[in-house]
Amino acid sequence: MPNVVVIGTQWGDEGKGKVVDILASRADLIVRFQGGNNAGHTLVVDGEQTICHLIPSGILHKDKKCLIGNGVVVDPQVLLEEIRTLTEKGFSITSERLFLSEKAHLIMPYHKALDMAREAAKGKGKLGTTGRGIGPCYEDKVGRRGIRAVDLLDPKALEEKIRINLEEKNFLLSRFFGADILEFQPIYDSYLLMAEKIVPFISNVSLEIDEAIRKGEKVLFEGAQGTHLDIDHGTYPFVTSSNPVSGAVCAGAGVGPDKLHHIMGIVKAYTTRVGAGPFPTELLDETGDYLQERGAEFGATTGRRRRCGWLDLVMLKDSILYNGLTSICVTKLDVLTGLDRIRICVAYNINGKRIDHMPADIRSLAQCEPVYEELPGWNEDISNAGDMDQLPGRTRDYLERIEEITGVPLSIVSVGPQREQTIELMDPFK
């Protein structure tokens, strides 16, 4: 059976949650492979909104197994709060449905303290971090001093690792940043208490996935953020601390590349970005305000207003290159309704030279001027369209132009936040 990877192709917030929610109905396992609770997937089911930060959004489907891979950094407090919230909404969250990789690294209080202290120290040079300790946790992972979920099974090992880390972190907090130090005992005691509730979910996620694939079951892999927040391929340093690209599935879930069959790239019909960093197609005018207000563009995790701009096919083509996309899903197409003219960025101009890729240097990217193609807009309500024939001709022209320029076929078109407001052109599992 084919296994499907869902990838964000922009700066995150592309609407991956809804797409994963739809595809999860056909999958047996839904696996999150990277990132932390600095991301949020917003789902609207029967008019009720649910936001998942760590647990894969497939959890809203009964009898589906949801797995948090080793590539995810997990704040135990956030995970338990998410389990509690979902349980209160009537969803069954048991150790038979939810699995946490024993190799997943844990976010500690000192990670969050360092995150906030560093961001405060940067002043005007802030990166726009969410302050949730994601970056510092990944630093400890790479520095081989991290604390993993498996350490919750061994109180003595947990104690030793917290003490060693606190010695270094408190030195940085107090001597370098002038911030308050953290005490060992409250941290240790709180993690022991949380361990009692989390330990039943800890598992060898890679084995769970392998066994499912051997049985012929379908696996859906979901990431957080988007390709251009990738630590290697994004607009560095205004990026996240992990790899949201498709290749990271192998490392972040513990599967071989031969197990990835369909790579679906999620593309918002326009472009948004949260926080700082260059944004070539950003609209600082009434059109940008229109997109922001009509699209309700606020971060699901931070609540921050998202910057809005025209669809950038330069960055999308780079995403196709990095991810090897099989198909494209266009989301929030309905937000463009009511605009007289719609622009698509097809290239950049920099110092009189036309380029069709994103420069690695952010100073150069900030100097890039978008080269636009302009298409006529539409005023018809498309939110109830069930197939492509029900879309206005100008709307179809817009979608067809995206396919023509990228060379990648459309698989899904989303025309509203509800599950049923979706046009499916192909089933990636077939």
C-alpha 105, offset from chain centre: 18
Active site residue 233: no
Q: C-alpha distances in angstroms, 162 versus 72, 159, 169, 357? A: 20, 5, 10, 44
What b/e string do you get for 111-134 counting C-beta neighbours within 10 Å, with b at 16 or more?
bbbbbbbbbeeeeeeeeebbbbbb
Written as six digits, the tokens of 52 are: 């998942």
Decide if 241 contacts 72 (C-beta within 8 A).
Answer: no
Which one of the listed residues 28, 41, 61, 233 is annotated catalytic? Answer: 41
Q: C-alpha distances in angstroms, 174 versus 118, 122, 137, 170? A: 12, 17, 19, 6
Q: Which amino acid is at 107?
A: I
For residue 314, give every residue at least 6 positions away whose Cβ sits within 8 Å of its Cβ, in sequence order, or none.
Answer: 280, 345, 346, 347, 348, 355, 356, 357, 358, 370
Strand-strand pairing, 219-222 and 422-424: unpaired
Alpha-carbon distance of 39 to 41, in angstroms, equals 7
CA dihedral 101, 104, 110, 111 (to 10 degrees): -130
Under DSSP, the state recorded for 275 is S
Active site residue 13: yes
Which one of the listed residues 13, 115, 140, 230 is annotated catalytic? Answer: 13
Active site residues: 13, 41
